[in-house]
Amino acid sequence: MPPGRTTAGVTEMKSKILASDLRAEKACESEVKRFEREWPDGAELTLENCQKAAEMDFDLGWFSLWFLSPKARKVYLKAVAPAIEVYAWKVHALAVACEDYLDIDIAWKVYKKASAIALWQAIQSEKGD
């Protein structure tokens, strides 16, 4: 569990994330500023914004840790696990055999897309209760 969190986790999923929410969870200030430039009025939690955040290399894993309930985080981790495994194997293959960097780049792009969809599925799971 992250520092400052209880085992209860998040009690209610927000529908919009503000820069102040990120600061409250001690996000890196440089990342908060990037977030503010893209979403000055905050970001609605939509599939489009999840995908945009992934394409912009925001850390959706970090977000899932701080903003999802334990139940929703399980949904996120289950959904993103296959992409993490593929990416990890590509990195391992590079380390062992110095394979083409292009394969790793493709695996990273697949991971980013999968993480955005996984985050969206987790957010939707909160609404299903």
Condensed to tens digits (0 to 9), the pLDDT of residues 80-96 reads: 877 666 666 566 566 55
b/e string for 106-115 if b means 16 or more Cβ within 10 A?
Answer: ebbeebbebb
Query: Quick one: pLDDT at residue 5?
Result: 46
Instruction: Report pTM.
Output: 0.64
Which tens digits make up the pLDDT trace of 38-93?
999 999 999 999 999 999 989 888 998 889 888 888 888 888 877 666 666 566 56
Give the pLDDT band of residue 101 (cuts 50, 70, 90): low
Average pLDDT along the chain: 78
Indicate the length of the chain as a whole number: 129
C-alpha dist (Å) from residue 92 to 52, 101, 104, 111, 115: 28, 12, 10, 15, 20
Give the pLDDT band of residue 33 (cuts 50, 70, 90): very high
Least-confidence region, from 13-17, 60-64, 95-99: 95-99
